Chains A and B, each alone.
Chain A
Amino acid sequence: MFAKKTLPTIIAFVCGVTVVIAYFFNIPFIQARAQDILKWQSVIAVFALGLGAVNIIRIHVNNVQRSQNRNLYSLALLLTFAITILVGVFAGQNSDAYKFIFDYINVPTGSAIFSLLAFYIGTAAYRAFRAKNAEAAILLLTGCIVMLGRVPLGAKILPVSVPLTNWIMSVLNVGGQRGVMIAGAIGFIAVSLRIIVGLERRSYGGE
């Protein structure tokens, strides 16, 4: 019982409190321990990353073995995964082969996936941008002005959109975002405190 429930809570409490105290108080002993904890955290985080890799392998090896329709895709994923790791480990991250994978597979595909939203956002805008009330009208207006002010064509159509965009971004946007950020941070601190004192044990597998 102690090892299963209490020990994880104690570990989370000690680590969290040490890191927080080291930040707010100038106590060399605590600060040195906090540095150790942060170093250890980065080592354990690498093992957590490995856990993700193991899960990917398990799922896709399973797909291949079950011979579902997706087996060819899973095989391609496993092959690319293995080749990338082998190239990265044996040839090194500065090798031409590794750079080739990064520059011609990872970057263009990632960029294309990122830009896919440009096509879907039209329908999203149609749904979101309906001036049904004052809030929606403000959303519509600022969104349209910023979109116009960010492209050369927009500046030709409506020259005032450029200074207006700059004003919206540096004044209205900052005012609204700061309120959200501060309120979010207060909520974040509350959740962090709950984790540190052991009220959120589910986050590390407890009940």
Chain B
Amino acid sequence: MKISTEIGVWIGALSAIGIYSVLIKDNPFYRMVEHIFVGASAGIAVVVGLNTFNNTAWSPMVQGKYSLIIPMLTGLLLYTRYFQKFSWLNRIPLSFLMGTGAGVAMRGAVESQIVGQISATMVNLNKLDSWIVFLGTGFSLSYFFLTYKTGKVTGYTSRIGRYFMMAAFGAAFGNTVMGRVSAAIGRFQFILLKWLGL
């Protein structure tokens, strides 16, 4: 056994132990590690944000793209929420973000989640597996037809669709479990091998 002398390894190992200590009971060690993590993560997000701001707004504006003053001033309006009298002004940047976000999400949904998925389902229908995928997609979709009363045929198709969805959820659950377990194994390897040097 050769315990690591690297301070970074010590911090990483103690952080992991602090997080795992909550499995026994909520305790001050866990809370301290949790707060430090939140501080570091939020700090990293702010640094990345500042970098983005510098690259997409500040530097181009200094170089002569003065139209970028408009989104900067609009962005500043978000902070009017701290002043009750002017708080309504923060609706302007929020509506800009929501409207643009909805437009981007809409075209993304059409492209990748509808057209992309349908075209991927329709190709190579010359194998049994392709037919199972095709029918599974159709049956699962029929489960979401909520605008009319379910008849005898649609009752069967939606039930089969539910079976397909349950199989997909089971597979997703199994995958999630194995992903988390492998992450835990990685942490234990770090503690046992890299920190304690076993």
Contact = CB atoms under 8 A, between A and B. Distances in A.
Given A104-B12, A176-B166, A204-B98, A110 B37 contact: yes
A106 B37 contact: yes
A178 B92 contact: no
Nearest to B185: A115
Given A8-B95, A76-B39, A84-B44, A46 B52 contact: yes
Interface in B12-37: 12-13, 15-16, 18-20, 22-23, 31-37
Contacts of A32: none
Given A4-B91, A195-B99, A182 B19 contact: no
Contacts of B75: 43-44, 46-48
Given A114-B183, A139-B173, A195 B98 contact: yes
A53 B138 CA distance: 45
Report which residue of A146, A174, A178 has the largest number of chain B beta carbons within 10 angstroms of its beta carbon: A178
Nearest to B57: A43
A47 to B, nearest CB: 3
A44 to B, nearest CB: 4
A183 B144 contact: yes
Interface in B94-108: 94-107
- Provide the main secondary structure of the chain A interface: helix
A43 B71 contact: yes
A51 B49 CA distance: 11
Interface in B71-117: 71-72, 74-76, 78-79, 81, 88, 90-107, 109-111, 113-114, 117
Nearest to B51: A93
B18 to A, nearest CB: 8
A105 interface: yes
B78 to A, nearest CB: 5
B141 interface: yes
A29 interface: no
A192 B39 contact: no
A196 B177 contact: no
Interface string A9-20: 101111111111
Interface of B: 8-9, 11-13, 15-16, 18-20, 22-23, 31-53, 56-57, 67-68, 70-72, 74-76, 78-79, 81, 88, 90-107, 109-111, 113-114, 117-118, 120-121, 129, 132-141, 143-144, 161-178, 180-181, 183-184, 186-187, 190
